[in-house]
Structure 1
């Protein structure tokens, strides 16, 4: 009896070049104030959290991207990674990342 092959044998995805692996956030359907938001198709930019960065991004001091950063990105060139049943992983080119969310430094941090 041979080993049973699983349909999902990959456990790690490493982006190549100027790309990052992002777990897309769930789309919000309404604001805190209760205003209904349109479908995601009408909002071209979405948020997510960086799962893995490529070696090229990690070694580029000009790119302020790190693992676990929350980012805002344009999904046009994002490539879905079919490793999870809900398919929330995407390989995203850094050129499509439009913002990184940062906490404000405390006033006495200087």
Structure 2
């Protein structure tokens, strides 16, 4: 193993092995702010649901009735806007939680 491979956290290696199928997208939600803009530390129960996420992995896309592959609108690394109540929670290890969405559920992409 090279020194670069040894430096990669195990959770990142696990995520790299997870490939979404069809038009599904694996995302990691942005962390909620730990303190307010004024510097007040926020308790865990007052944190709001974060609707912004980073795309981690994408599937190959759907196929038309003719069998043609439709390309995905997002790629790994893109910042996207998520709906309030949707997606499937994916727990790959104890420390990281990811969410799986269909491409049609993603509301927008940030530029």
* TM-score bracket, shorter-length normalisation: 0.5 to 0.7
Q: Secondary structure at the match of 1:21?
A: strand
Distance 1:29 1:18, change over 3 A: same
1:25 aligned residue:
30
1:84 aligned residue:
93
Q: CA RMSD in A?
A: 3.0
1:15 aligned residue:
20
**Ranges in structure 1 where 5+ consecutive residues have no aligned partner:** 1-7, 103-110
Distance 1:93 1:34, change over 3 A: farther
**Ranges in structure 2 where 5+ consecutive residues have no aligned partner:** 1-10, 63-68
Shift >4 Å, 4+ stretches:
29-35
TM-score normalised by structure 1 residue count: 0.62
What is the aligned length? 89
